[in-house]
């Protein structure tokens, strides 16, 4: 968004009186459909586990945060704010989890815990307007709001990945 001012004399003012008009631009988001669930990328959230001699259970406390994201052509905070305001649902920017998990492993088994987050995905048009020219441009964009469980943790799929 750019801030520009221009001094324009107004009819009926003396040569020393100048009126100032501020130029402003803003974005509006128009969804092209309803929100849909989308899966993010699987990521490693724990150090490696290794079974104790003879096998058995191994417990690990993991803590991580999942954050909202946008398509690559959404670059400014004003664009992100427009998508959040116009999405039609309560936008969630982030959610954190801190939980202890137990893996029951056989002798010689190794692996780690992974998490694939779920998002509320919304697509639509991001329209740019100005107070001088009205409508300026439009582009297709996508936003991904963090999906949470009823207890406030990020929703998604935990998985033990064997090595």
pLDDT tens across 59-68, in order?
889 999 999 9
pLDDT of residue 18: 66
pLDDT of residue 132: 93
Instruction: Kindly report the CATH number assigned to the domain that includes residue 67.
Output: 2.170.15
pLDDT of residue 8: 53
Asked if residue 16 belongs to a domain, the reply is: no
Q: Tell me: the pLDDT tens digits for 72-95?
A: 999 999 999 999 999 999 999 999
Token couple for 93: 């920017």
CA distances in angstroms from 152 to 35, 50, 155, listed in the order given: 19, 30, 9
pLDDT of residue 67: 97
Asked if residue 9 belongs to a domain, the reply is: no
pLDDT in tens, the chain (163 residues): 444 445 555 555 555 666 667 999 999 999 998 999 999 999 999 999 899 889 999 888 999 999 999 999 999 999 999 999 999 999 999 999 998 988 899 998 999 999 999 999 999 999 999 999 999 999 999 999 999 999 999 999 999 999 9
pLDDT of residue 101: 87
Q: Which residues span the domain enclosing 109?
A: 27-162
Q: For residue 134, is it left (φ>0), alpha (ψ between -120 and 50) or beta?
A: left
Asked if residue 20 belongs to a domain, the reply is: no
Asked if residue 19 belongs to a domain, the reply is: no
Cβ–Cβ under 8 Å, residues 43 and 67: no
Token couple for 160: 């033990």
Asked if residue 21 belongs to a domain, the reply is: no
Asked if residue 3 belongs to a domain, the reply is: no
pLDDT of residue 14: 58
pTM > 0.75:
yes
Asked if residue 95 belongs to a domain, the reply is: yes
| DSSP assigned state of 35 | -
Asked if residue 8 belongs to a domain, the reply is: no
pLDDT of residue 21: 76
Total of domains in the chain: 1
């Amino acid at each position: 968004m750019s801030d520009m001012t221009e001094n324009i004399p107004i009819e009926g003012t003396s040569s020393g009186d100048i009126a100032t008009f501020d130029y402003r631009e803003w974005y509006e988001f128009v969804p092209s459909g309803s929100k849909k669930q989308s899966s993010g990328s699987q990521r490693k959230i724990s150090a490696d586990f290794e079974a104790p001699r003879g096998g058995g259970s191994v417990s690990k406390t993991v803590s991580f945060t999942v954050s909202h994201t946008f398509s690559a052509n959404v670059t400014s905070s004003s664009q992100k704010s427009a998508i959040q305001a116009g999405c039609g649902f309560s936008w969630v920017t982030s959610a954190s989890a801190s939980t202890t998990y137990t893996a029951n492993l056989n002798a010689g088994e190794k692996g780690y815990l992974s998490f694939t987050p779920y998002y509320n995905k919304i697509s639509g048009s991001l329209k740019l307007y100005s107070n001088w020219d009205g409508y300026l441009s439009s582009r297709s964009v996508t936003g991904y709001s963090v999906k949470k469980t009823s207890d406030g943790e990020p929703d998604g799929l935990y998985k033990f990945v064997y090595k």
